Amino acid sequence: GQSLEQPSEVTAVEGAIVQINCTYQTSGFYGLSWYQQHDGGAPTFLSYNALDGLEETGRFSSFLSRSDSYGYLLLQELQMKDSASYFCAVRDQAGTALIFGKGTTLSVSS
Amino acid sequence: GAGVSQSPSNKVTEKGKDVELRCDPISGHTALYWYRQRLGQGLEFLIYFQGNSAPDKSGLPSDRFSAERTGESVSTLTIQRTQQEDSAVYLCASSATGDTEAFFGQGTRLTVV
């Protein structure tokens, strides 16, 4: 089976940078994904890492280290609208279920 | 359709009744997932369908829960003899294949009274 660990809450101010960590345990490994969910909304895809290193998409970046079974989501130039829950998710092989962590609630204040 | 569609959006049912939740995935998506999300909690995996393969039912919490999918289209999640602890948002997602990003529906909020 798979298990994922991420902090339950993170707080930051507008304009700051925040990093949300995720460690995982899987029998195999087929990529680490990140999803964002606003209160009352549906989760939406943010990023996917299959190989080690940093993937950058605008203000958001995601990092993976397969040897450490670790990844993080980096959010820069935080805005109030970034207040949401962020979930990391893994598959242990292609064509299998996507398993999510318990989520990190990010609160951005002015 | 343009996105994943779930119905009903809200369902209130009496304890002990059966409920059926529906998910229409994005056309052409072979993979379909069901998750349960209790208030303020994470996404709890329930069941996964991938093409014509046998579904992965490892997340179903009890034999009161079952799901079906017709080919690569509609899926229904059935909960029999509902209990109060079944109250949650049930989310459906689909993806083009078994290893690409998942697109979620808005969910069905189930309240068991």
Reduce the secondary structure of A20-60 to three states and give it as a string.
EEEEEECCCCCCEEEEEECCCCCCEEEEEECCCEEEEECCE
Record: contact B58-A97, CB cut-off 8 A: yes
User: Nearest CA of chain A to the CA of B44: how many Å?
Assistant: 7
- The rounded mean pLDDT for chain B is 95
Q: Is B25 on the interface with A (CB under 8 A)?
A: no
pLDDT, average across residues A84-93: 92
pLDDT grade for A27, boundaries at 50, 70 and 90: confident
- The rounded mean pLDDT for chain A is 95
- Taking only residues 69 to 98 of chain B, the set having a beta carbon closer than 8 angstroms to any beta carbon of chain A reads 91, 93, 95, 97-98
Size of interface A-B (CB pairs under 8 A): 59
Q: Which two tokens stand for residue A96?
A: 């299998």
What are the backbone angles phi and psi of residue B41, rounded to the nearest 5°?
Answer: -110, 180
pLDDT grade for A95, boundaries at 50, 70 and 90: confident
* In chain B, % of residues over pLDDT 70: 99
What are the backbone angles phi and psi of residue B98, rounded to the nearest 5°?
Answer: -80, 5
Q: Return the beta strands (E) in B1-113 as ranges.
A: 5-7, 10-13, 19-24, 31-37, 44-50, 65-69, 75-79, 88-95, 103-104, 108-112
Q: Is B99 on the interface with A (CB under 8 A)?
A: yes
Q: What is the pLDDT of residues B2-17, one digit of tens each?
A: 899 999 999 999 999 9
Q: Which two tokens stand for residue A93?
A: 């092989």
pLDDT grade for B1, boundaries at 50, 70 and 90: low
- Nearest one of B106, B94, B90, B75 to B13, comparing CA atoms: B90
- Nearest one of A41, A38, A42, A33 to A60, comparing CA atoms: A33
Q: What is the pLDDT of residues B71-82, one digit of tens each?
A: 889 999 999 999
